Chain A
């Protein structure tokens, strides 16, 4: 193979892969972050700094819904910007941490939640 054919072949691969990424990115979320190859999750929540203190003061924060229906193949990200860890159903997110969970099988997962007034978070994972 000549150098020109090699370059052409790699260019075709790059275009093909770029096309895939473009398709993935052709919606609000999920998609790839511009300039980054990180695939964004379908469900993205941030627990702001000071949330724990606001809860302590009696403020009914509703940062995460009490119930969330997702589909196998989707994923959730929870960013905790607070200075304390929070329990969100089956997840624990430490202070300053981020967790990402991909849903690989159907089912219902429920647990306590420190960032919803009901104190519960139920996650239903539906088949794809």
Chain B
């Protein structure tokens, strides 16, 4: 009995004092809430999606655009591989929000599902609605027209994870190691919050 208690005490102390890997993403404290924040689901007429995960799940959100030559496809691909290599990936949903709705609204669903078969394409023609949602995540973007008429888009390339209560759990800056991203998602799915 006493030996069991001693072992338990040692295990508890060791667990409390280290051994846990550092999260690769960063946590904003207090966590912003996405509860009640919605965006239209593209490809499905008249449906808005709250930016909250399914019960016991995780919603990973990305703000980007389909004409992006590098950051967006790289991020989508890294996330796809990370999810493919982890257990319980079925508890994770991926949503991409376009920051370039003028060009993306008709084509974003195909773009997203080319990476994730159940991926969610979100977008709105209402700049205020897009800005309000992006601001909570801390996502920034700027769409401008160059002198030659071409469209230039600048945007932050972070990924965000939201839980089923709408809490923004973590932000992953662009360029993170894919294995670290996967490990973070696994930790979050397991209930880790700090």
A1 within 8 A of B: yes
Taking A6-B5, A9-B6, A104-B180 as contacts, is the C-beta distance between A91 and B22 under 8 angstroms? no
Residue of B nearest to A98 (CB): B29
| Complex CA distance for A114 and B32, rounded to whole angstroms | 20
Residue of B nearest to A20 (CB): B17
Give the distance to chain B from A88, nearest Cβ to Cβ, in Å.
Answer: 11
Give the distance to chain A from B2, nearest Cβ to Cβ, in Å.
Answer: 5
Chain A positions 94-114 with a Cβ under 8 Å from a chain B Cβ: 94, 96-102, 104-105, 107, 109, 111-112
| Complex CA distance for A93 and B23, rounded to whole angstroms | 17
Contact residue range for chain A? 20 to 34
A10 within 8 A of B: yes
Report B-chain residues with C-beta under 8 Å of the C-beta of A107: 175
B30 within 8 A of A: yes
Give the distance to chain B from A91, nearest Cβ to Cβ, in Å.
Answer: 7
Contact residue range for chain B? 20 to 34
Report A-chain residues with C-beta under 8 Å of the C-beta of B2: 1, 3, 6
Chain A residues within CB distance 8 Å of chain B: 1, 3, 6, 9-10, 13-14, 17, 20, 75, 85, 87, 90-94, 96-102, 104-105, 107, 109, 111-112
Report B-chain residues with C-beta under 8 Å of the C-beta of A111: 156
Contacting pair A105 B13 (CB below 8 A): no
Report B-chain residues with C-beta under 8 Å of the C-beta of A93: 28, 138
A13 touches which one: B10, B138, B177 (CB < 8 A)? B10
Contacting pair A13 B156 (CB below 8 A): no
Report A-chain residues with C-beta under 8 Å of the C-beta of B135: 85
B173 within 8 A of A: yes
Residue of A nearest to B183 (CB): A104
**27 contacting pairs across A/B (C-beta < 8 A):** A1-B2, A6-B2, A13-B9, A13-B10, A13-B13, A14-B13, A17-B13, A20-B17, A87-B138, A90-B175, A91-B26, A92-B137, A92-B139, A92-B158, A93-B138, A94-B28, A94-B32, A96-B30, A99-B29, A99-B171, A100-B27, A100-B29, A101-B26, A104-B22, A104-B177, A105-B24, A105-B176
